[in-house]
Amino acid sequence: MTTPDYDQVLAREDPELRRKRGVYFTPESLAYHVVHQVDHFLRRDFDIPGGFANLGVEILEPAAGSGNFLTTIIRRIYQEFVFDHEVWREYVPRHLLPRLTGIELLPGACDAARRKLRALFEELHCPLPLDAFLPIIQADTISEPLDCSEPDAWNRWLRSRKKRSAPKLPLVIIGNPPWSGLPSNQGPWIKALLRGKDVVTGEEFENYYHIDGNPSGEKNLRGLSDDYVRFLRYAHWRIERRGLGILAFITPAGLLNNFSLAGARQSLLETFDKIYVIADSGSPAKGGKTLGEVLGVKVRVAISIFIKSP
């Protein structure tokens, strides 16, 4: 099995698990487009020299799969160092790896992502020691406290985070979260967070079930149970707490017009200063493909980028 094709192998060898988890492979060309746009917004909207390469930008892929977004970001950052490999080899362990986090529930995907990262750094003239910590954590992102299957790796990651100064620059949350139609995570924390309450801290946040402070009145709220909405709420919450950042997700286009998600859309508009969306119109241009066809799905797809400025 080749590392980049883990998601496609899963589709062939365990289609039921793929369907249940809503796992869809993100082609590198599509990941590149999203990463390029976010890098542009970091430079333009936050006045951050170097974009992703800046030492203060924290990067999270909360449903990492085999790591396509993280590897695409690393390639983008490498372009800043392409003529100075000595500086690059010093930068990677000290200033890059501690800023990256990929969280993934499926153990096979975690293993694939780690192999892919190691192979990528070898390709980019920065081979990593065998004992180097690769920031891919096997855990359930939308559980609180985080349900981690690898406590030793998690503790090592936490130690690397504590060595960093308090973050003052944006948190970037990026990826293609699972689209299951039905929730695979029924945990009380994320269910309460959708209703605007962090039951661990007692803090209040935006309520996806409300419009203008009142229950939406929509009878069919099934759309709020889709896993991608839960990952969206998690990412939204992270940036609410940080106070600034960029959220870039590939999701079903139902996020834009599903009646049951009206409260979610209003909540996102309340938090973020700018929102950019590219969505399927329903039919491709002559000779082209829809985003759904690129991803291999039969639903309309949207790329949404949400910006919370300082």
Q: What value does the mean pLDDT take over residues 217-229?
A: 86
pLDDT tens, position by position, 41-53: 999 999 999 999 9
Give alpha helix (H) positions in the chain.
Answer: 6-13, 15-21, 28-45, 68-78, 85-91, 107-123, 151-162, 188-194, 227-242, 254-257, 262-271, 291-295
Q: Would you call 28 helix, strand, or coil by DSSP?
A: helix
Q: Which domains does the chain have, with CATH numbers?
A: 3-308 (3.40.50.150)
Per-residue model confidence (pLDDT) at position 291: 75
Q: According to the model, what pLDDT value does residue 173 have?
A: 98
pLDDT in tens, 230-253: 999 999 999 999 999 999 999 999
- For 133, the 3-state DSSP assignment is coil
Question: Which of the four pLDDT bands, split at 50, 70 and 90, describes residue 145?
Answer: low
Other Cβ atoms closer than 10 A to 169: 18
pLDDT band at 166, cuts 50/70/90? Answer: very low
Q: Is pLDDT of 296 > 90?
A: no
Amino acid of residue 81: F
Tokens 């936490």 -> residue: 158
What pLDDT is recorded for position 81? 96
Q: Is the pLDDT of residue 202 over 60?
A: yes
Mean pLDDT, the chain, as a whole number? 85
Question: What is the tens place of the pLDDT at every residue in 59-111?
Answer: 999 999 989 999 999 999 999 999 999 999 999 999 999 999 999 988 888 99
With 70 as the cut, is the pLDDT of residue 281 above it?
no
Instruction: State the pLDDT at residue 220.
Output: 79
Q: How confident is the model at residue 200 (pLDDT cuts 50, 70, 90)?
A: confident
Query: What's the predicted TM-score (pTM) here?
Result: 0.88
